[in-house]
A and B are shown apart, each in its own frame.
Chain A
């Protein structure tokens, strides 16, 4: 608005000096152009004028148009021009409006004095000279105003843009310190610096920047600054700062030199790494723990990729194979461990790769007498994709040996029971022999004597049978090596032995042998299984008479054997305990509590299964399944 007032006043001043507005004089056209151009310009966005390149030509253009108009009106003299241009130039340079107005005033006054001293006021056209004095002042005000307005606008824009950057600066997540170069005084800090160092901004601006570093790092920081100063560019590193309370602060530090106009700064940006460090430390610790656990496991643990490549092994593996870690990694496990060209048969890792389920199996190494139990466990990602397989190899040789010893000692205990049974069984014919011999000795009649001796012979033969049976049983029990075992034969043999030991002749034995398939096992152990089961069956019937059913039949891959009695049965509450070691309902000294446990162990050893079905006072049936032996397996 003011601008327009100034323009209109100026125009009228010029026109007034001429006299008539209606004259189609060139100066009037120029004034018109001047007005029009200014009207047009008022439609251009303001920010165009913030640019000095545009502003100065505009000022020059305006000045030129006005001056030319004045010249044409023949009212101007050279000295006026001089003063006029000086003011314009001064106004353009100066941004101080007040000073400009003072100068304008003084100039107008001086000019007035000058005109007076020249005696121009007394002349005819004195009114035209008199008018020049306020004109100078008004022109000064006008240009001063324009310059100031534009400067203000520019300053406002600068303020907005500075606020913007200040906001970014203050709210940055990283601490930013500006150092003046070269005196290295802190020029500015943002809020993050205050937060991180616990100093206030005022305190920081008074502080030596190096006092912010941990004492041992000051030299390092100094070197970095020097390096940046000398070589330019930036520099990034880990440093630790010292907080106001003396605590240390791990930071990621970067130093850069920036030049802003004539001023040069160092920009120090740091990021608090304390939390990150803590996390990293936790991760490192947990990694170390896991590694220690992994290596601490005395059994061999290795991790395989789904293509059997070894990804990791623990120390036990390295020690066991006496090979370096590097030689195992990335090799296929079957090559590295077993020198095979393809995965091992029944390898639980293969099962795991196929099914993504944990698996286990027992492997007997052919070379040494080592028995390994191998467990596999899948590692899957959140989508269920198999990443790797943990293979856990346990040397169970010793365990196996202990188990065999346990089986053996139970067998011995069993033989003890058997022996007492057999002793009893032998005592009957032995009684006969002794009794009949005494009678025979007293008998005179040869025919009677002969009949007595025949009885003695019969008794002797019976004893012979018993001893023979005992011998074959103990031979089988001693047999260590594997072989193909005919279960029907074993059942017969076991039954015979048990019948020797337990006199329960009123027990009706029904044999339903339908399977002729054999199984691969140690004969003695299988005999032990059935001797124990048949003994239990007889004991369950407690000599009161009953029915024992022994049956075999072939299923698809298994031979199924059932030992069934109609004895007292097993109380429901004991059913899940009967296979436990040392579980017995017999009186102390009568049972070891190992019988069924050994049965269970042996059946398990041959990948068989055992199930029990029992009803109190109705009887018990044990169902055992062994895998059928086939020539090709």
Chain B
């Protein structure tokens, strides 16, 4: 049974290429375009990883993470934070909230794989396959 990942980003093109990469790596991927959608999907389904943007309409990344971490059902889901802001303060804020990994846009596939490896303690799909 493949791992299930939720991508939350308001930027369509980012969701698109992340999905292609992750699918190729053998993960099951779901998308959400904003924070509210993300919470909704998290309630419906169980996920193994959350990849979340910070700046989003309606509910931003921080709020999503706070809700995830305060909900006993979802608090153990690892989180990779995506951000266009390359600022230390954001990074520390993220770690304080319980974010497991932090990726600054733009990022490459190699960075993504490294992050996944950290999260799951295994080399993702391709290598396994």
- A residues near B, CB below 8 A? 420, 423-425, 427-436, 438-439, 455, 458-459, 503-506, 543, 545
Contact = CB atoms under 8 A, between A and B. Distances in A.
A251 to B, nearest CB: 87
Q: Which 4 A-B pairs have the closest CB atoms?
A: A435-B17, A432-B13, A427-B84, A506-B57
A458 to B, nearest CB: 7
A560 B104 CA distance: 43
Interface string B70-107: 00000000000000110000000000000000001111
Nearest to A502: B55
B20 interface: yes
A429 B16 CA distance: 12
Given A427-B106, A428-B105, A435 B14 contact: yes
A531 B18 CA distance: 35
B128 interface: no
B106 A503 contact: no
B48 interface: no
A431 B85 contact: no
Contacts of A429: 13
A431 B13 CA distance: 9
A434 B108 contact: yes
A75 B69 CA distance: 169
Given A427-B106, A432-B11, A455-B13, 14 more contacts: A423-B84, A424-B55, A424-B85, A427-B105, A428-B84, A430-B105, A431-B105, A431-B106, A435-B17, A435-B18, A435-B106, A455-B16, A455-B17, A505-B57
B58 to A, nearest CB: 5
A435 B17 CA distance: 6
Interface residues of B, number: 21
B10 interface: yes
A438 B109 contact: yes
Given A424-B84, A424-B85, A455-B13, A431 B57 contact: no
A436 B14 CA distance: 8
Contacts of B105: 427-428, 430-431
A503 B13 contact: no
A364 B44 CA distance: 70
Nearest to A462: B13
Interface in B38-71: 55, 57-58, 60
23 contacts: A420-B85, A423-B84, A428-B11, A428-B13, A428-B84, A430-B106, A431-B105, A432-B14, A432-B16, A434-B108, A435-B21, A435-B106, A435-B107, A435-B109, A439-B20, A455-B13, A455-B16, A459-B13, A504-B57, A506-B58, A543-B60, A545-B57, A545-B58
Contacts of A504: 57
B13 A458 contact: yes
A352 B11 CA distance: 63
Nearest to B18: A435
B55 A503 contact: yes
A459 B17 CA distance: 13
B80 to A, nearest CB: 14
B18 to A, nearest CB: 7
Contacts of B11: 428, 431-432
A505 B58 CA distance: 8
A434 B111 CA distance: 12
A439 B84 contact: no
A439 B22 CA distance: 11
B57 A433 contact: no
B55 to A, nearest CB: 4
B13 A434 contact: no
Contacts of B106: 427, 430-431, 433-435
A424 B11 CA distance: 12
The interface centre, meaning the residue of B13, B20, B21, B108 with most chain A CB atoms within 10 A of its CB, is B13
Contact of B17 (A425, A436, A505): A436
A539 to B, nearest CB: 14
Contacts of A503: 55
A455 B13 CA distance: 7
Contacts of B84: 423-425, 427-428, 431
A435 B106 CA distance: 8
Contacts of B104: 427
A425 B10 CA distance: 12
A431 B106 CA distance: 4
A430 B11 CA distance: 11
Interface string B13-37: 1101110110000000000000000
Given A545-B57, A545-B58, A505 B21 contact: no
Contacts of A424: 55, 84-85
A201 B30 CA distance: 126
B78 to A, nearest CB: 21
A421 to B, nearest CB: 10
Nearest to B112: A435
Contacts of A423: 84
Contacts of B10: 505
A428 B85 CA distance: 10
Nearest to B85: A424
A179 to B, nearest CB: 103
A472 to B, nearest CB: 23
Interface in B103-122: 104-109
B57 A434 contact: no
Contact of B107 (A431, A439, A458, A506): A431
A430 B107 CA distance: 9
Contacts of B17: 432, 435-436, 438-439, 455
Contacts of A458: 13
Contacts of A543: 55, 60
A536 B126 CA distance: 48
A614 B40 CA distance: 36
Nearest to B55: A503
B89 to A, nearest CB: 10
Contacts of A459: 13
B87 to A, nearest CB: 9
Contacts of B13: 428-429, 431-432, 435-436, 455, 458-459
Nearest to B106: A431
Contacts of A432: 11, 13-14, 16-17
Contacts of B60: 543
A427 B21 CA distance: 19
Given A503-B55, A543-B60, A438 B108 contact: yes
Contacts of B107: 431, 434-435
B6 to A, nearest CB: 18
The interface centre, meaning the residue of A427, A430, A431 with most chain B CB atoms within 10 A of its CB, is A431
Contacts of A427: 84, 104-106
Contacts of A455: 13, 16-17
A506 B60 CA distance: 11
Nearest to A587: B89
B107 to A, nearest CB: 7
